[in-house]
Amino acid sequence: MKIDIVTIFPEYLAPLELSLIGKARTTGVVQLDVHDLRRWTHDVHRTVDDTPYGGGPGMVMRPEPWGLALDELAADAAGGAPGDGAGQAGDGAGSAGDGAWSGRLVVPSPAGVPFTQALAHELADESHLIFACGRYEGIDQRVLDHAAARMPVTEISLGDYVLFGGEVAVLVILEAVIRLLPGVLGNADSLVEESHADGLLEAPGYTKPPTWRELPVPEIVRSGDHGRIARWRRDQALLRTAARRPDLLAALAPDGCGKVVGLPREARGAHQLLEPACPRSQRHALSPRKQQR
Ligand code: JBE
């Protein structure tokens, strides 16, 4: 997978050299390049922002450097000439970038669609991702509109809060995406078992010693009975999800409801709790706060 990141703070992306992402780069699973947006500025002050039309606080990122950056990065990968060849100098009103572009543009933004594991899988299927990190009050909308006529563009939000810019969001998105690529995780089973793989949160985990600060590991997970352990983990996943993320339970597919109804006797509390959670009309019946954590 080819990944290009455009930012005015390339140093912010330094963690992408570490750990398993760094390894994915050296082994060639991903070819990742971080670009300084100012490379595509041509004025003496290398300006990337300006005051917003219509007034209001803050600054908006100017379209010209972004347009030139995408001309080069998107058209480059398509194997064609960068953009339409129009403009290293200024790109004032020019319409650079005619012809198809390759890749998918991802723009982190608090106004984007929520980032989920499903979206991480979708991005992991792409051969070329280009990330545009906005700062200030965001990027001039015409950059996204112009690109959207040539390639898929997705504005993605990590959550309902505001960051200074998109750089940290790119770190998060890439960590979620790169670990899904073949050859990055040693044990592909961990992708199957983890939180969100089946729409539920994952059960708690334990390791040695069997007792630590007077806290024992639950007897079931030490029993060696894999059938019981699997059922216990499923029960714990349901209890946790009900307590912490009732929205996930409500979104479970109908066959997910069937699994819930099939809970064993020791999880009857979860059964009572969860069975009504599936029909949306009865969602009020869910009362996770009465349950443990
Ligand atoms: O979530 N995000 O992707 C953001 C990007 C930029 C600013 N705030 C955000 N929440």
* 136 pLDDT tier (thresholds 50, 70, 90): confident
Domain edges within the chain: 2-178, 211-290
The CA-based angle 224-227-231, given to 5 degrees, is 115
81 pLDDT exceeds 80?
A: no
Report the separation in Å between the CA atom of 185 and the middle of ligand 1, taken as the mean of its atom positions: 27
Residues near 218 by beta carbon (within 8 Å), at least 6 away in sequence: 206, 232
The pLDDT score that the predictor gives to residue 252 is 85
Residue 189, class by beta-carbon neighbours within 10 Å (0-12 exposed, 13-18 middle, 19+ buried)?
exposed
The confidence band for 272, taking pLDDT boundaries of 50, 70 and 90, is very low
C-alpha 56 to ligand 1 mean position (Å)? 19
* pLDDT over 70 at 158, yes or no: yes
The band of 98, judged by pLDDT with boundaries at 50, 70 and 90, is low
Q: What percent of the chain has pLDDT over 90?
A: 69
Of all protein residues, the one whose alpha carbon is nearest to atom 9 of ligand 1 is 110
| pLDDT of res. 275 | 38
Contact 114, 48 (CB under 8 A): no
Ligand 1: list residues with CB < 6 Å.
Answer: 108-110, 156-159, 161-163, 165-166, 169
Q: Among residues of the chain, what percentage have pLDDT more than 70? A: 78
Tokens (6 digits) for 226 = 């894999």
One-letter amino acid for residue 262 of the chain? G
Q: pLDDT value at position 255?
A: 61
Please state the atom number of ligand 1 nearest to the C-alpha of residue 156. 3
Rounded to the nearest angstrom, the gap between the alpha carbon of residue 255 and the centroid of all alpha carbons in its chain is: 26
Name the residue with higher pLDDT: 261 or 205: 205
Q: How many separate helices (H) and strands (E) can be counted in the chain?
A: 11, 9
CA nearest neighbour of 250 among 292, 199, 215, 179: 199
Work out the average pLDDT over 88-96: 45
CATH of the domain spanning 2-178, picked from 3.40.1280.10, 3.30.1360.120, 3.40.50.1100, 3.40.50.720: 3.40.1280.10
Q: How far is the CA of 259 from the centre of ligand 1 (A)?
A: 36
pTM, 2 dp: 0.81
Which residue's entry shows tokens 């050859």?
A: 183
Residue closest to 64 by CA, chosen among 47, 81, 44, 79: 47
> Which one is predicted more confidently, 24 or 268?
24
Name the token pair of 150.
């040539």
Whether the per-residue pLDDT at 248 is higher than 50: the answer is yes
- Give the Cα separation of 97 and 119 in Å (integer): 27
Residue 291's pLDDT band, with cuts at 50, 70 and 90, is very low
Supply the pLDDT for residue 287: 37
The closest-lying atom of ligand 1 relative to the alpha carbon of residue 162 is 8
Report the pLDDT averaged over residues 223-243: 97
Atom of ligand 1 minimally distant from the CA of 108: 3
**276 CA from centroid of ligand 1 (Å):** 35
Q: Which residues contact 275 (CB under 8 A, 6 or more apart)?
A: 257, 260, 261
